[in-house]
């Protein structure tokens, strides 16, 4: 037998023979709040692109259960520790009531930190996106206290509910007395805090962690004053535990927002992904000489115009060969092309500006450096070795290492997952294909403006642009979110 709404506190009641199971409104409201926060967070995370939705689903489920466990243990410890210590089986009887949201928040944050770092995501970036939405869940979950007739203040006169609070009057009549609806005030203030942080402060965020710290400040402040009026609080000695925790939240939030922790917390360095040709080494002349040899042997060299010379810079050989040499064998064309490139490389190839010095400095500072190119990995090695660039590459991904070449982000994803690097990434390249590849991953994009003909297009498409790779260094020192939608 299934019975809906059997009483004011129960949503649905199951009866199977002599066994009875029920789902309380309190649980339903908590789950509604959690799922709403989940949906909003997931939409925002999808805009980052680089966050796996499978990872986020797991993070949500695990953190929710850890949060419930933390809320339960918090309640048992500070409600009647000696009783639950003597009767540990009572701890699991969560259906009898007893959850403390602050314990859930503490446990959830600690677990999320471990799980996020374990999967090589930037904790500061993700907690900024996720934690403020917890306040929306709290605003909804507080109405579970209404149906349970708890989280209230002292007695008030019946006239207290005249006007806009009249819809609360019946629910706040407990054992013949009316009580101050503190749950309602906290719910409204949580909703207001969520709106202010998500839709106002977010537009003016100037450093990582601001939104998470703002959550701690806002929730700590409102909970401190709400708790001061509650008559059903948990205690630590003579102190209300929720007020003690609120002071801690408020202090951490204020110090963090003012930047106090920045001097002690190690900054998470983004992974760096460099394009090769045209970004680190100018191989344009050698590439064009390789194609020229093919036009001379298999086509008409007069067709190798200045426009075509620009078109062949960047795209993979497998994409260009069918356009200008349809029907001809790829391996044959590649052998001829590579032979000519190899002949002219010593005099044709040259380093881009300060690329060697910049790579060395970044390597020495502990950045993970990957190279992603439409050239083969052996080709990258052959060209980079004479200049000593390969010394500073932590990994390379060439044409032969992926099924889908740029602008598909497969190469970036493979290198980061294989090496366990920070998933937050900066893509540096000199072509629209590089910028699109970075965006498709969700990386912060920096365009190297080495070709005046591409400059306007690259400036408009990339997050930032530089004319000297040395200008990349101060950008990496900025306290920003290194994702393509940072703008």
Residue 316 contacts residue 310 (beta carbons within 8 Å) = no
Query: What gap in Å lies between CA 445 and CA 433, rounded to an integer?
Result: 11
CATH number of 271-280+350-486: 3.40.50.1000
pLDDT for the residue 330: 86
Q: Are 272 and 369 in contact (CB under 8 A)?
A: yes
pLDDT score for 281: 92
Place of tokens 């060969």: 321
Encode the chain (487 residues) as per-residue pLDDT tens digits: 666 656 667 766 667 766 777 777 778 888 999 999 999 999 988 887 888 899 999 999 999 999 989 988 888 888 877 887 888 887 887 766 777 888 899 999 999 999 999 998 888 889 999 999 999 999 999 888 888 788 888 999 999 999 888 999 888 899 899 999 999 999 999 999 999 999 999 887 667 889 999 999 999 999 999 988 988 778 777 888 889 999 999 999 999 999 888 777 777 899 999 999 999 998 888 888 888 888 988 888 888 898 888 888 877 788 888 989 998 888 898 888 888 887 887 888 899 989 999 999 999 999 999 999 988 898 899 889 999 999 999 999 998 899 998 999 999 999 999 999 999 999 999 999 999 999 999 999 999 998 888 899 999 999 999 999 999 999 999 888 888 876 4
pLDDT at residue number 1: 61
pLDDT value at residue 47: 80
C-beta of residue 439 within 8 angstroms of C-beta of residue 445: yes
287 and 337 in contact (C-beta within 8 Å)? Answer: no
Instruction: Give the pLDDT score at 355.
Output: 95
| pLDDT value, residue 85 | 80
pLDDT of 300 reads 87
Q: Where are the domains of the chain?
A: 25-67+101-263, 271-280+350-486, 285-335
Q: How many CB atoms lie within 10 A of CB 239?
A: 12
Which residues pair with residue 350 across a beta bridge? 282
pLDDT at 255: 94
How many whole angstroms separate alpha carbon 184 and alpha carbon 168?
Answer: 9
Handedness of CA 424, 428, 434, 435 (dihedral sign): positive
Q: What's the confidence (pLDDT) of residue 487?
A: 43
Q: What is the pTM of this model?
A: 0.80
SS (H, E, C) the chain: CEEECCCCCEEEEEEECCEEEEEEHHHHHHHHHHHHHHHHHHHHHHCCCCCCHHHHHHHHHHHHHHHHHHHHHHHHHHHHHHHHHHCHHHHHCHHHCCCCHHHHHHHHHHHHHHHHHHCCCCHHHHHHHHHHHHHHHHHHHCHHHHHCCCCCCCEECHHHHCCCCHHHCCCCEECCEEECCHHHHHHHHHHHHHHHHHHCHHHHCCCCCHHHHHHHHHHHHHHHHHHHHCCCCCEECCEEHHHHHHHHHHHHHHHHHCCHHHHCCCCCCCEEEECCECCCEECHHHHHHHHHHHHHHHCCHHHCCHHHHHHCCCCCHHHHHHHHCCCCCHHHHHHHHHHHHHHHHHHHCEECCCHHHHHHHHHHCCCCEEEECCCCHHHHHHHHHHHCHHHHCCEEECHHHCCCCCCCCHHHHHHHHHHCCCCCEEEEECCHHHHHHHHHHCEEEEEECCCHHHHHHHHHHCCEEECCHHHHHHHHCCCCCCEHHHC
For residue 104, which of 139, 138, 132 has the smallest C-alpha distance?
Answer: 138
Q: Give the strand order in the sheet containing 464-466.
A: 395-397, 369-372, 271-274, 425-429, 444-448, 464-466
Task: Give me the pLDDT at residue 62, please.
Answer: 95
Sign of the alpha-carbon torsion through 248, 249, 251, 255: positive
pLDDT at position 7 is 65
Q: Can you give the pLDDT at residue 13?
A: 63
Give CA–CA dist 305/40, Å, rounded: 52
């Amino acid at each position: 037998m299934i019975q809906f709404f059997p009483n004011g506190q129960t949503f649905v009641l199951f009866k199977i023979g002599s066994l009875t199971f029920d789902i309380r409104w309190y649980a339903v409201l908590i789950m509604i709040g959690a799922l709403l926060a989940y949906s909003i967070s997931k939409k925002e995370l999808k805009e980052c692109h680089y966050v796996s939705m499978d990872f986020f689903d797991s993070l949500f489920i695990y953190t929710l259960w850890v949060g419930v466990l933390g809320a339960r243990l918090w309640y048992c410890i500070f409600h009647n520790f000696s009783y639950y210590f003597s009767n540990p089986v009572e701890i699991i009887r969560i259906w009898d009531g007893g959850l403390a949201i602050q314990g859930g928040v503490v446990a959830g944050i600690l677990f999320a930190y471990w799980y996020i770092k374990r999967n090589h995501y930037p904790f500061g970036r993700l907690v900024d996106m996720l934690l403020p939405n917890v306040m929306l869940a709290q605003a909804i979950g507080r109405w579970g206290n209404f149906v349970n007739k708890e989280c209230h203040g002292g007695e008030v006169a019946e006239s207290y509910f005249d006007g806009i609070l009249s819809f609360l009057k019946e629910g706040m009549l407990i054992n013949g007395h009316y009580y101050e609806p503190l749950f309602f005030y906290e719910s409204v203030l949580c909703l207001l805090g969520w709106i202010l942080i998500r839709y106002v402060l977010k537009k003016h965020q100037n450093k990582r962690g601001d939104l998470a710290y703002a959550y701690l400040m806002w929730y700590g402040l409102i909970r401190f004053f709400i708790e001061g009026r509650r008559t059903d609080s948990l205690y630590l000695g003579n102190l209300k535990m929720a007020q003690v925790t609120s002071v801690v939240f408020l202090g951490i939030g204020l110090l963090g927002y003012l930047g106090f922790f920045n001097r002690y917390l190690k900054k998470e360095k983004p992974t760096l992904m460099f394009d090769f040709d045209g970004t680190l080494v100018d191989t344009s002349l050698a590439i064009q000489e390789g194609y020229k040899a093919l036009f001379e042997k298999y086509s008409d060299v007069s067709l190798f115009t200045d426009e075509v010379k620009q078109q062949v810079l960047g795209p993979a050989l497998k994409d260009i060969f069918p356009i200008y040499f349809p029907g001809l064998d790829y391996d044959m064309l590649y052998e001829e092309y590579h032979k000519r490139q190899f002949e002219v490389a010593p005099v044709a190839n040259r380093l881009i500006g300060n690329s060697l010095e910049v790579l060395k400095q970044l390597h020495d500072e502990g950045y993970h450096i990957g190279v992603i190119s439409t050239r083969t990995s052996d080709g990258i090695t052959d060209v980079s070795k004479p200049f000593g660039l390969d010394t500073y590459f932590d990994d390379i991904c060439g044409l032969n290492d992926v099924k889908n070449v740029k602008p598909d982000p497969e190469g970036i994803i493979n290198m980061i997952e294989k090496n366990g690097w920070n998933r937050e990434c900066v893509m540096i390249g000199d072509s629209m294909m590089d910028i699109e590849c970075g965006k498709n991953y969700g990386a912060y994009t920096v365009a190297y403006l080495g070709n005046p003909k591409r400059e306007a297009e690259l400036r408009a498409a990339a997050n930032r642009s530089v004319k000297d790779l040395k200008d990349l260094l101060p950008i990496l020192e900025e306290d920003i979110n290194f994702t393509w939608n940072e703008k």
